[in-house]
Amino acid sequence: MSFNDAGALESQPTTWRRSDDPQYADDPEFQALTTTLSDKLFTLTSSISRLNNQISLLGTRRETDRVRERVQDLLQETGDSFKDIGEGLKRVSAWEDLGPSQKYTQGKLNQEFRASLTEFQVLQRQALEKQRASATAARTALEQEEAAGSQQQGGGQQQQQQVQQQEPRLADQSDVDFQESLIIERESEIRNIEQSVGELNELFRDVAHMVHEQGQSLDIISDNVTQTRDDTRNADQQLRTASRHQKSARGKACCLLLILVIVLTVIIVAAVLG
């Protein structure tokens, strides 16, 4: 086999070169699962970006009920996606008989998932803090409004004035009840976010443990590759040294042979002349 043929063979995919070796063969199921998880992680990146844009509107003049609804929906959908991907990563981490390239893919997915999850958790906390501040401000304003209404009713008002003001008061009470229902709904959303934060914190710990284990495996693979490279370099150096020694030995042998020929020639010539 020529050098070019050997180089062409080396450049072929690992599965083509070593399809008879389970360590190097691709597992179709493993490849399909990791590809699906990678696609889902890419989609999560877009969801996190949209969530960040919506959360930035909370606490500003552009905050509306629709904005809060979108934030809540994105938090729920993205959190569910993280849980789904997390279950898939647990399957990947439990996969047995993986080759070096598959272990690399395994570790890379875990690290990417952890980075995205960390970014999402930061947004979760931001949304939670802004929702709490908004709910607290709304409840304080409502309580002040109710207190002001009670003071207006507490004076010595005449019966006719009470009758005239009865209808506006009923309208005010209806608005108060509506605001109260909105605050209760917002507080329920806050509790949902808090619950999701707790669940994802547990998922983060699981993934961190998997990343730690995969990191150790990748370190071992890296060490083995480094050791193999060093061994190859040492072997090449030894071959070069042996080649130099062999050339030197051949040179010395040629010199000795030449000297021997000269000596024999001198002896023969001397014998003939004598």
Query: The domain spanning residue 32 has which CATH number?
Result: 1.20.58.70
Per-run averaged pLDDT (10 residues), the chain, 274 residues: 46 41 66 95 95 93 91 94 93 89 92 93 92 82 71 54 54 70 76 78 77 58 56 66 72 79 80 76
Residue 75: per-residue pLDDT? 94
Residue 235's pLDDT is 58
| 21 phi, psi to nearest 5 deg | -110, 115
What torsion do the CA atoms of 65, 68, 70, 72 make, to the nearest 10 degrees?
-130
Nearest Cα to Cα of residue 186 among 146, 137, 141, 134: 134
Indicate the burial class of 39 (C-beta count within 10 angstroms; 0-12, 13-18, 19 or more).
Answer: exposed
Contact 208, 170 (CB under 8 A): no
Determine the pLDDT at residue 170: 54
97 phi-psi bin (left φ>0, alpha ψ -120 to 50, beta other): left
Residue 91 included in any domain: yes
Query: Does residue 38 come out as left (phi exceeding 0), alpha (psi in the -120 to 50 range) or beta?
Result: alpha
Q: Is residue 106 part of a domain?
A: yes
| CB within 8 Å of 110: residues ≥ 6 apart | 89, 92, 93, 207, 210, 211, 214
Q: Please report the pLDDT score of residue 14 as a whole number.
A: 38
Residue 208, domain member (yes or no): yes
User: Does the residue 69 lie in any domain?
Assistant: yes
Residue 135 inside a domain? The answer is: yes
Terminal Cα distance for the chain, rounded? 61
Q: Is residue 155 one of the residues assigned to a domain? A: no
Q: Domain limits at 214?
A: 15-145+178-221
Contact status, residue 76 vs residue 89, Cβ threshold 8 Å: no
Q: Could you give the C-alpha distances from 65 to 21, 57, 140, 187, 256, in angstroms and in order?
A: 60, 11, 19, 14, 101
The C-alpha angle 118, 122, 126, rounded to 5 degrees, equals 165
Number of domains within the chain? 1
In DSSP notation, 117-161 reads HHHHHHHHHHHHHHHHHHHHHHHHHHHHHHHHHHHHHHS---HHH
The predicted pLDDT at position 22 comes to 46
**Of 72, 181, 172, the residue nearest 127 (C-alpha):** 72
Evaluate whether residue 45 is within a structural domain: yes
* 80 within some domain: yes
Kindly report the pTM of this predicted structure: 0.59
The one-letter amino acid code at 168 reads P
- Amino acid 3: pLDDT: 45
Q: Please identify which residue in the block is written with the tokens 């083509």.
A: 16
Report the b/e string of 111-149 with b at 16+ CB within 10 A: bbbbebbebbbebbebbbebbeebbeebbeebeeeeeee
Q: What angle do CA 107, 108, 112 make, to 5 degrees?
A: 120
